[in-house]
Amino acid sequence: MYARVTPLARALTPLQSLIARRWRPQWVCQSCKQRRLLWRSLTTSTTTTADNGKPYYVTTPIFYVNAAPHVGHMYTMILTDVLKRWQQMKNRRSILCTGTDEHGMKVQQAATKAKVEPQEFCDKGAEVFKELAARIDISHDIFMRTSNRKHKEAVEYAWQMLEQGGYIYESKHEGWYSVSDETFYPQGQVQLIVDPPTGRKIMVSVETGKEVEWTSERNYHFRLSAFRERLLQFYRDNPKFIVPATRMNEIVQQVSGGLEDLSVSRPLERLSWGVRVPTDPSQTMYVWLDALLNYASAVGYPFTPGSETAGGWPADVHVVGKDIIRFHCIYWPAFLMALELPLPKQVLTTAHWTMGRQKMSKSTGNVVNPFFALERFGVDAMRWYLVHDGGITDDADYDNSYIIEKYKKGLSGGLGNLASRILKGKGWNVRRAVERFGHTGTAVGPRSIEFAGSDEYGPEAYKSLQLLPEEADKFMNDLLPNKAVQRIMQAVYDANYYTQQTAPWHLVKALENARADGTSVQVLEEQIDKIIFINAETLRMVGILLQPFVPTSAKKLLDMLGVDQGRRNWDWCVVGRDDTYGVPKMDLEDPKESTLFPRLTSAF
């Protein structure tokens, strides 16, 4: 774990070499030891997992506390939660980390403006994000705050490792700095514009549009330029590191064009709210070096040698917005390479939510308050809509009318309608249909189902249902939750179409007539049961697969079907696998209890 003297370190000046030789980590903080004990206790589960027992570890970005959360924060939280719950459904122990980024110039200035101490300002801001996570039913295991003492100690330790390895040096730095983005930009990434509200000519970042100012100061630098070839090789070896591929190409182009060394500290007189450089208290660490390390400190960094994976490291997926891709896909891998730590497996970069095809911005007043949206539409409706329509590659436009339209088509008129038709329909019995066509003995699939020549829709609907789990899982493995939920919903639309075409209610009428006439009813009963079974299986499998997306509604649907709690995971998501359901766990005659997705009122 302790960094060795590298060729890079040997190339330092005599003074720098002296500092490197003298500076040795003299301690491992007690809180770090306690954190390792905590994670050791969390990793004693006997649940079967992949990667030799390593938990699946997924993270949201940590959110700045200087402004209230918006729909973009809610979107990335939900996406991350969906990825975690999907793995849990597949019986893999999983860890979700979210939290708040509480250091840096933006926070310092916001606290000053609010006339409160920075820590008090951060405490209030963190509580708002915790509240949002609770409101949208995020199953996070860790809420990380960078003002946390344990995190600060981990960051100080990382600085020691970087400095000892020869990756940090002191130098004068000049360049264009954005307080809003908390980063320096090279000359080629800034441009002169006229600010519309004020008419001033200002320099802004080409990438974010935020104002930059020319600064000149002495601070510490990280030798980012030394990692160009290693990063490019890593990208070649891991072509799916960044999703979608278009952003992977952008990052490869940026790194191929060359990297400048990165300023990683600020003079204390300019930035006091942050982690002090342990070897030079006149300097405060760069907020992004501090913040990115939260992903590792949250799960036990500094790690006990040989047990890095016990708490979940390396991350399986970082979910971030496309505006912070450079930090997560260039800086972060380089820091980890320098620290000789395993790199994250993938980074899912999302597009933005827009309103009226314009990027949401506080200055223009087109920011969506997530708490208002949740109050208006409900948690599962918002979870489903944001994942279903949210952009991974391209930006998505947000509008209340879109939510209402999608809700009516997909949830109320689609899944809710199918559940009501099949579970509340008269003249058939779901339990009888399941018993007739479910598996027998030790078989894992259904009995053979024969379709009459006149039933042109049955074979197609049945085949589509059989392929559903595999196809949805592929989308999830490709980090495309939007495509996965769209495929799941297609099964619902197919089942509704199949039901409409086969019209079991007409067959029920024919069955009643046959009984009255004293003729054989076996063929008609079997035909009705076949239609009901395929639809019931659609509801059951869709209910299982939708648990990560709409947990409350999926649970209710499975309760309505009477699916046992122990049969709601991936192992049971096979057509005909479960033949024990069909007796509801609630009163389906009570509209309030058994309505899956209430209609939106005119007030919406």
Predicted confidence band at 21 (pLDDT cuts at 50, 70, 90)? very low
- DSSP code, position 179: T
Question: Does position 40 have pLDDT exceeding 80, yes or no?
Answer: no
525 touches 543 (CB < 8 A): no
Predicted confidence band at 27 (pLDDT cuts at 50, 70, 90)? very low
Owner of token pair 């019995």 = 429
Q: What percent of the chain has pLDDT over 70?
A: 87
Q: What stretch of H or E contains 112?
A: helix 105-114
**Would you state the pLDDT for residue 265?**
94
Task: Show the tokens assigned to 414.
Answer: 């689609």
Predicted confidence band at 264 (pLDDT cuts at 50, 70, 90)? very high
* Distance separating alpha carbons of residues 83 and 549, to the nearest angstrom: 9
The residue-averaged pLDDT of 242-260 equals: 97
**Would you state the pLDDT for residue 35?**
44
The residue-averaged pLDDT of 27-46 equals: 40
Question: Does position 36 have pLDDT exceeding 90, yes or no?
Answer: no
- DSSP code, position 177: E
- DSSP code, position 586: S
**Would you state the pLDDT for residue 411?**
96
- Residue 382 CB partners (closer than 8 Å, separation 6+): 74, 78, 136, 370, 373, 374, 403
594 touches 424 (CB < 8 A): yes
**Would you state the pLDDT for residue 52?**
64
pTM over 0.75: yes
125 touches 170 (CB < 8 A): no
**Would you state the pLDDT for residue 459?**
85
pLDDT tens per residue across span 96-152: 999 999 999 889 999 999 999 999 999 999 999 999 999 999 999 999 999 999 999
How far is residue 472 from each of residues 81, 151, 418, 475, 544, measured CA to CA in Å?
A: 17, 37, 20, 5, 12
Bridge-based pairing state of the strands 56-59 and 94-101: parallel
Question: Does position 483 have pLDDT exceeding 50, yes or no?
Answer: yes
Which residues sit opposite 173 in a β-bridge? 217
99-113, 213-227, 398-412, 510-524: the lowest-pLDDT one: 510-524
Considering only residues 211 and 585, tell me which one the structure prediction assigns the higher pLDDT: 585
* Distance separating alpha carbons of residues 543 and 555, to the nearest angstrom: 7
pLDDT tens per residue across span 331-390: 999 999 999 999 999 999 999 999 888 877 766 677 899 999 999 999 999 999 999 999
Q: Kindly report the average pLDDT of the chain as a whole number.
A: 87
Per DSSP, the three-state class of 227 is: helix
Task: Show the tokens assigned to 593.
Answer: 């209890």
**Would you state the pLDDT for residue 39?**
38
- Residue 492 CB partners (closer than 8 Å, separation 6+): 410, 414, 415, 418, 538, 542
pLDDT tens per residue across span 269-312: 989 999 999 999 999 999 999 999 999 999 999 998 888 898 99
In the chain, the domains with their CATH numbers are: 7-352+364-377 (3.40.50.620), 380-594 (1.10.730.10)
Considering only residues 211 and 162, tell me which one the structure prediction assigns the higher pLDDT: 162
The residue-averaged pLDDT of 88-101 equals: 97
CA-nearest of 120, 75, 76, 79 to 102 is 120
Considering only residues 42 and 63, tell me which one the structure prediction assigns the higher pLDDT: 63
Question: Does position 45 have pLDDT exceeding 60, yes or no?
Answer: no
pLDDT tens per residue across span 509-542: 998 888 888 777 888 999 999 999 999 999 999 9
Predicted confidence band at 454 (pLDDT cuts at 50, 70, 90)? low
